[in-house]
Amino acid sequence: MEETIEVHGPTVVQGRLPVYGAKNSVLKLMAAALLAPGCSTITNVPEIQDVTVMAELLRRLGCDVHYDAAGRTVAIDVPEELGHQADYDLVRAMRASISVLGPLMARCRRAEVALPGGDAIGTRGLDMHRAGLEAMGATLSIERGFLRASAPGGLVGATYRLGYPSVGATENLMTAATTARGVTVLENVAREPEIVDIGRMLQAMGARIDGLGTTTLTITGVSALHPVTHRTVADRIVAGTWAFAAAVTGGTVEIAGAEPEHMAVVLDKLRAAGCEITTGQGVLTVRGPERPRAINVSTLPYPGFPTDLQPFVVALNAVAEGSGIITENVFEARWGFTAELERLGARVHLDGHHARVDGVPARTLSGAPVEAMDIRAGAALVIAGMAAEGTTEVSGVEHIDRGYEHFVENLSAAGVAVQRRVSAGRG
């Protein structure tokens, strides 16, 4: 027996949908709190499973963590003496756990972090994390499934250029450098709004960081940081999910709490698909067309089109007029869910890191049992099921719960015929 999401199509999303703090930020903000003894409080926290996992990881490191889901806050009381080992049972469940590596090196001068797991969307090695810390004077090795790092004399400032603007490596090296002796210059860093959010929290804690939002960060080490209260940036991926739901179903959504300035490329693509988009008074309104036009998209690091929204482009093109080409430049294994989409009748043709999707009228799609393989693919399958005739049953909903707060309840309140059920599964 397993829990599934059952959607009865065709169904249209109409109404107001909320956006809270970004999953891809809040987990790293929680890790950054390790840098300062005392109680830091993070607000605008989404009610998702990954926050619970990160809270437990911090507890095992010695912190007292109070997660108030209803109040959307996490209070993290960090001790003077921290533990330095992040265990496999938690790290394998959530790759963001690796973000404790930088803070632990800054505070403890050593860390043992299990090699991470997370979504099955491609390899995401730790080479840049490792090379950047080695440039700062750390010694690292992999032993018995753990990345072990130490710098008994403390980290020292260095200049390091990332081979790729990795979000995770940028976060770990930025946090590690906050208390390193001297000046650290990180080049070719990630520029995502979530990186800027973490940097602003670090600055409020007393870190000296220049260049947030650019390709180069200059970090002058300080002797100590202090706890703060910090509000999490809005989740642009959840906002994009709701926007694509409107585009695919021909509905209208008012997205409350989004920050459209972080979604410029996404909104341009939705306009190209035929959506009408307006902003004002803290609400982003997206009106989907009767039938969308196919769009071409290449995923790239920010400010390019985000890889996390790629599955929704595939779902849109599946019911669009014409054919669209999607190029995946970030995660090579993100196409796995397309086989599930084809079970609904989508026409997807894969060629390396490209996919051509030939659109068919939505009524041509028919509901079927499908399986979510990661957070975003699961949500995209639900949205595709909204457009299909009949019932689509999505298993693997634990992935969706990792990234979306009250996903089914929010869609149901916006008029979608969707519910959670206990199912015997596909086997």
Peptide bond into 10 cis (omega under 30): yes
Cβ-based burial of 383 (10 A; exposed 0-12, middle 13-18, buried ≥19)? buried
Angle of helix 127-135 versus helix 167-177 axis, rounded to 10: 20
**Annotated binding-site residue? 23:** yes
| Catalytic-role residue among 50, 119, 197, 401 | 119
Do the annotations mark residue 26 as ligand-binding? Answer: no
* CA pair distance 21, 380, nearest whole angstrom: 20
Distance separating alpha carbons of residues 37 and 82, to the nearest angstrom? 9
Q: Is 183 exposed, middle or buried (0-12, 13-18, 19+ CB in 10 A)?
A: middle
Angle at 260 between CA 24 and CA 119, to 5 degrees: 25
Residue 238, annotated as binding a ligand: no
The token duo for 283 is: 């609400």
> Residue 308 annotated as binding?
yes
- 70 is written with which tokens? 């209803």
| Half-sphere exposure of residue 418: CA atoms within 13 angstroms, side-chain side | 30
Structure tokens, 350: 């894969």
| Residue 332, token pair as written in the block | 């090579």
68 included as an active-site residue: no
Nearest to 169 by CA among 198, 211, 137: 198
Residue 95 annotated as part of some ligand binding site: yes
Sheet holding 2-9, edge to edge: 369-371, 390-395, 2-9, 418-423
- Known binding-site residue numbers: 23-24, 95, 308, 330
Q: Which residue ranges are tagged as binding site for UDP-N-acetyl-alpha-D-glucosamine?
A: 95, 308, 330
| Binding region for phosphoenolpyruvate | 23-24
The residues annotated with a catalytic role in the active site are 119
